[in-house]
Amino acid sequence: MNATLPRVIVAPITSKGHPLQCRPELTFNGKQARIFVDQLRCVDKQRLVGKLGEIDVSLWHSVMMQMLA
């Protein structure tokens, strides 16, 4: 979906924040971090300056499915 639309779905990542079930923990660029899946956004690709990275689907897919259920 992100490849064909002019917008991309993004989720904020932080090294702080309260641990919640909808905020999976991971190591990103060598640091412990949390994905704020509860704060997903849709952003126009022209507004993005650069891509920091991608999170493996296996890390966030199950959390996302629980939130949408």
Tens digit of pLDDT for each residue in 19-63?
Answer: 777 787 888 888 888 888 888 889 998 888 877 777 777 777 776
Which pLDDT value is given to residue 69?
Answer: 64
Identity of the residue numbered 22:
C
Per-residue pLDDT at 57 = 76
- Residue 19's identity, in one-letter code, is P
What total of structural domains would you count in the chain?
1
pLDDT for 44 equals 92
Q: Is residue 31 part of a domain?
A: yes
pLDDT of residue 58: 78
How far apart are alpha carbons 32 and 37 in whole angstroms? Answer: 16
Could you give the 3-state DSSP secondary structure of residue 30? coil
| Residue 1, in any domain of the structure | no
Distance CA 59, CA 13 (A): 13
User: Residue 17 domain-assigned?
Assistant: yes
Tokens of 33: 């971090």
Inside any domain, residue 2: no
Residue 11, in any domain of the structure: yes
Q: Has residue 51 been placed in a domain?
A: yes
Its domain, for residue 46, covers 7-68
pLDDT tier for residue 66 given thresholds of 50, 70 and 90 = low
pLDDT of residue 67: 64
The answer to whether residue 15 is domain-embedded is yes
Assigned domain for 41 exists: yes
